[in-house]
């Protein structure tokens, strides 16, 4: 993997994206997309769509978990990582930057940008409510909203041919809990994948963005877009144990434990997803069961006593009790 660093123009672009509010970024992206796609842009309060001539949809969300946009941005070119004391919000501003970069390279896929993904996929939910069928030819969807360097996550889409297709471009299948395509793909009947876009420690102020990883995914997505063929069409096939009820949303009571469709799956109290039992972590006190993603976002394991403790900012190695004893 090449250690591709940001040039001055790219740094200023990502700085602007990271430093914008959701509303400001939506306005900026609407202006940019209208310049590139002319009158083929649809704008609603909750989403933007730009219709392209490549039958693939790229998806990213405009919000972050942080209430304050980035003011102080740090970039270590030697390590090729970026961070901010306000929380960098690369989840999912890295995805937005990637889409701009892909368009600057002259490629014209269909673009879907949503709002408020972090509070339950509000924009994506409204999108499929307004537009219940795919509005243009889409062979498949790619979301750019996954941590790490080479993950591909398919959620409840169980199309083995599509999985093989994506893996052939250099990705490795992993699992995840939720993203915008969890709403869009089943409603439109189009296979979809979420790809790593370079961030780590998301949903915390210690989140970082690995620039090399981000550019590596951008290059791979460009390769996909440049080589998609007419016959590369993949339908959404729901997994046998698919759990999510996309028609009614995610407003469930996590104390209710009987939504799983078979006895080998359990509910995550964080994202409300259904997972195989070996993918669920039960807290030491028994008060809560979480998928690995949600556990890593909310908890840590004390190095002294081994108990679980809340540690959303990932700043402690020991629980409060053990820190007090020492």
61: phi then psi, degrees, rounded to nearest 5: -115, 150
pLDDT (0 to 100) of residue 248: 35
Which residues contact residue 150 at a Cβ distance below 8 angstroms, ignoring those fewer than 6 apart? 170, 171, 172, 196, 216, 217
Other residues' Cβ atoms within 10 Å of the Cβ of residue 66: 19
Q: What is the DSSP letter of 68?
A: S
Partners of 208 in beta bridges: 200
- Regions of the chain where pLDDT drops below 50: 243-263, 326
143: its two tokens = 């979301």
Q: Measuring CA to CA, how many Å separate 23 from each of 28, 123, 136, 270, 280?
A: 9, 13, 26, 27, 36
Residue 299, classed as helix, strand or coil, is: strand
pLDDT (0 to 100) of residue 253: 36
Q: In angstroms, how far is CA 94 from the centroid of its own chain?
A: 10
pLDDT (0 to 100) of residue 20: 98
Domains and CATH numbers, the chain: 8-227 (3.40.630.10), 265-325 (no CATH)
Q: Measuring CA to CA, how many Å separate 319 from each of 92, 266, 269?
A: 30, 27, 21
pLDDT digits (tens, 9 = 90+) for 135-171: 999 999 999 999 999 999 999 999 999 999 999 999 9
Beta strand extents in the chain (DSSP E only):
41-44, 47-50, 54-61, 74-76, 81-83, 109-114, 140-146, 151-153, 172-174, 192-196, 199-200, 208-210, 265-267, 274-276, 280-282, 289-291, 299-301, 308-310
pLDDT (0 to 100) of residue 265: 65
């Amino acid at each position: 993997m090449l250690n591709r660093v940001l040039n001055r123009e790219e740094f200023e672009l990502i700085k602007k994206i990271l430093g914008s509010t959701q509303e400001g970024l939506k306005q900026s992206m609407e202006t940019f997309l209208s310049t590139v796609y002319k009158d083929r842009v649809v704008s609603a309060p909750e989403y933007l769509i730009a219709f392209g001539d490549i039958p693939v949809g790229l998806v990213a969300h405009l919000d972050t978990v942080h209430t304050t946009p980035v003011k102080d941005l740090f970039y270590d070119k030697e390590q090729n990582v970026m961070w901010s004391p306000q929380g960098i919000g690369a989840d999912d501003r890295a995805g937005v930057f990637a889409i701009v970069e892909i368009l600057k390279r002259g490629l014209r896929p269909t673009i879907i940008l949503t709002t408020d993904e972090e509070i339950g996929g509000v924009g994506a939910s409204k999108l499929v409510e307004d537009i219940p069928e795919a509005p243009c030819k889409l062979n498949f969807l790619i979301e750019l909203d996954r941590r790490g360097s080479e993950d591909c996550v398919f959620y409840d889409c169980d199309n083995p041919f599509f999985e093989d297709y994506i893996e052939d471009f250099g990705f490795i299948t992993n699992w995840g809990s939720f993203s915008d395509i969890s709403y869009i793909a089943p409603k439109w009947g189009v296979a979809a994948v979420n790809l790593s876009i370079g961030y780590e420690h998301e949903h915390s102020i210690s989140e970082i963005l690995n620039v090399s990883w981000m550019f590596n995914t951008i290059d791979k997505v460009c390769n996909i877009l440049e080589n998609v063929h007419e016959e590369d069409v993949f339908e959404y096939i729901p997994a046998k144990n698919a759990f999510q009820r996309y028609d009614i949303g995610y407003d469930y009571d996590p104390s209710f434990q009987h939504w799983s469709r078979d006895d080998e799956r359990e509910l995550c109290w964080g994202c409300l997803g259904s997972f195989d039992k070996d993918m669920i972590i039960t807290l030491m006190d028994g008060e809560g069961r979480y998928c690995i993603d949600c556990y890593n976002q909310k908890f840590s394991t004390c190095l002294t006593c081994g108990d679980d403790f809340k540690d959303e900012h990932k700043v402690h190695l020991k629980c409060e009790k053990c820190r007090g004893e020492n």
